[in-house]
Amino acid sequence: MAEQTVKFNITGMHCVNCAVTIERRLKDLKGIDSVRINFSNATGIVTYDADITSETRITKYIKDIGYIAKERIRLDQTSRASIQWGWLVFSIIASGTMMLLMYAPLPGVMHTYMPYMQMGIATITVLGPGMDFFISAYKSIKNFFANMDVLVSIGILSAYIYSTFAIYGIFGTSGHAFFETAVMLITFIRIGKYLEERVKGRASHALQKLVKLQTDKAHLLSTEGKELEINASSLHVGDKVVIRAGETIPVDGEVIEGNSSVDESMVTGESMPVVKQKGDKVVGATINKNGVLIVKATSVGEETVLSQIIKTVEEAQLDKAPIQRFADKVSNIFVPVVVFLSLVTFISWYFASDTTGGHLSFVRALKMSIAVLVIACPCAMGLATPTAIMVGSGVGLDHSILIKRASALEEIARLNVIVFDKTGTITEGHFVVTDIVPLNAVNESELLTLAAAGCTFSNHPLAQSVIEEAKGRGIGWGTVQDFKEETGSGFFCRYNDKDLLIGKETLMNSHGIKINGLQEKARKLDTQGKSLMYIAYDGRCMGVLCLMDKIKQNARDVVKQLKQMNIRIVMITGDSEQAAKSVASEADIDEYRAKVLPTEKMDIIKSIQKNGMKVGMVGDGINDAPALAQADVGIAIGAGTDIAKETGDIILIKNDMIDVIRAIRLGKQTLSKVKQNLFWAFFYNVIGIPIAAGVLYPFFGISLKPEYAGLAMAFSSVSVVTNSLLLKRISF
């Protein structure tokens, strides 16, 4: 199986039901594995078996359905809004002219021809800004699926055709035309469409902002040493690029020359520039603040960190949250039900007793049935979830919380248990020297010198921490010879022609080194969860260094807040029982598991889930991959520039534990907005349709004009999107 994925821009979609139609029809094709269509940003992503079908066939099939699928190009939302604006201006001019003919004082002769002038204006409007609705309705019916435009089209054509017949006396001398209903209906719906595109543009603002971070230009350093300005898309891995102060770095790469500070806030969320020098990594789209850097490209184009982030966000916005499925099912049957209710409304009012008699009863019945058609709004239900997800993922992105799956925002709000990895998650993931305990008349500096000398050729994290400590104190040391590492115990070497051993107590024992005088102190330090590094020189134990991976500064506070949310906390680690106990105690975690293998972490999560609990796993995204995959929500913390490699559903880019709390709050707020939107959508239709059907008319003489029903329909969608935008005000 040759699985491939293709992204499209899809034009011609007028409502959520259009997206549902495309999804449903494509899923029937042989070779299609998955289809996700997002009406909110007019995009689609299709995964297919290249041995069975192809991108060309998929594109052609979408065209046969009645829509246009083009290769994915990121369109500015304002472009789509500008199209709506053009038709809106046309409609407003037509409506204004229609009102002028109806209410302005005109010469007597014009009154004779006024119905025909109204028909002319209505015809131009119906065939111009109204034509989109008819084309969309045709596509929908062609595919045996009714969308919102079917309702709108029936309403517009009913008013237009009836009025045309009426002015030619087909309904007798009492014929009453209402062309203004068709014109105003188109205008009001166009107002709603335009505002909808505007607010949807604001909903995807965070993603658009990321896209704009990319630079088009780059200064390539040729093999001859000449600097050439080229398009950034032409760069290849291995190319050398010159970046001056104030310029955007066009690639991910490694600094090979120069010193500067770089603004990496787009990746880390931290406002303080980061110093960069030879050998340091840089990320594309970050900004060189001062100095000149020459960077060797390691990732270009779609492989850069920024491109991977954009790809992740786009795919998350195409994903459907579980709660969306209910709304989709309702939308499938919504339009046929509304058409039926409209027909019932017409029949009921046509045969209802009316003192005016015959024709006006028909007109009233027709207008009420049209009002029922156009006030109904399946779009509000369809937009309820995706717009909230889009805004929620954007808010997360603004706070360096990368949402990879839309459903994760819903699921994180329902978590009962959070499982934390220890090293690098609760702790800093970086050991520091906490205690230096010398013996045999050796002082701290001398002991640290011996330790640093012995650690020079080791890549072990503890050894590197010792070297950092020595360098920080300004301590220097000589060269060692005959370095040999004893796996799991430590290392042996010659220093100043004498034996130097550094490692665990077992290493000392195997070489016959006595540690008299240190046992009691060592036991006490060991109970604190510290790693002990013994140093022996010339056959004698010279002392011990203690190192510890300290917990993160806000770890205890995060645990406290989670407990206040009634979330059970479990820490799992492959470290020793004593180290786990020490960290758990310091972080105020009541439940922990030690000496756990990566696969066993997954089993622990399974056992918790069997009790009906929703489990979130917080880990580094690599070593904890099985556990992250098993959890209901996998949260990878500290992704940094390795975002693309992470396996979690949510990535906390800043390596800050407090973002776990922020992600949960974001999930709860997003889910709340989805529920509010769905409630409003259902409430609006439950209340609006009966009013349009005239239930208030017998009691209060209140009825709803079709054009006002159209305005209400348009603004129902706008209100849902606007409510989603309120997520931007969330306080962390």
Catalogue the active-site residues.
421
Asked whether 569 and 589 are in contact (CB, 8 A), the reply is yes
Hey, what are 281's tokens?
């990594």
Hey, what are 45's tokens?
């992503």
Angle, vertex CA 455, rays to CA 450 and CA 456, nearest 5: 105
How far does CA 463 lie from the centroid of its chain? 40
CB atoms within 10 A of CB 441: 7
Q: Which amino acid is at 502?
A: I
Asked whether 535 and 450 are in contact (CB, 8 A), the reply is yes
The sheet carrying 3-11 orders its strands as 32-38, 43-49, 3-11, 68-71
Q: Which amino acid is at 391?
A: V
Task: Reduce the DSSP state of residue 300 to 3 states and report it.
Answer: coil
Q: What's the burial of 365, exposed, middle or buried (CB within 10 Å: 0-12/13-18/19+)? A: buried
Torsion over CA: 260, 264, 268, 273 (sign): positive
Torsion over CA: 364, 365, 369, 370 (sign): negative
Distance CA 395, CA 411 (A): 17
Query: Checking phi first, is residue 436 left (phi over 0); if not, alpha (psi -120 to 50) or beta?
Result: beta
How far does CA 421 lie from the centroid of its chain? 24
Asked whether 345 and 365 are in contact (CB, 8 A), the reply is yes
CB atoms within 10 A of CB 510: 14
User: Based on C-alpha coordinates, what's the Rg of the chain?
Assistant: 34
Distance CA 295, CA 305 (A): 16
Asked whether 391 and 298 are in contact (CB, 8 A), the reply is no
Distance CA 677, CA 720 (A): 6
**Scanning the structure block, which residue is given the tokens 């970046």?**
243
CB atoms within 10 A of CB 3: 11
Distance CA 389, CA 407 (A): 9
Q: Which of 572, 650, 567, 648 is nearest to 607 (CA)?
A: 572
Specify which residues 527 forms β-bridges with. none
* Whole-Å CA distances, 540 to 481, 497, 536: 19, 15, 5
Close Cβ partners of 687 (under 8 Å, ≥ 6 residues apart): none
Asked whether 323 and 410 are in contact (CB, 8 A), the reply is yes
CB atoms within 10 A of CB 590: 12
Q: Which of 488, 493, 637, 622 is nearest to 554 (CA)?
A: 637
How far does CA 99 lie from the centroid of its chain? 46
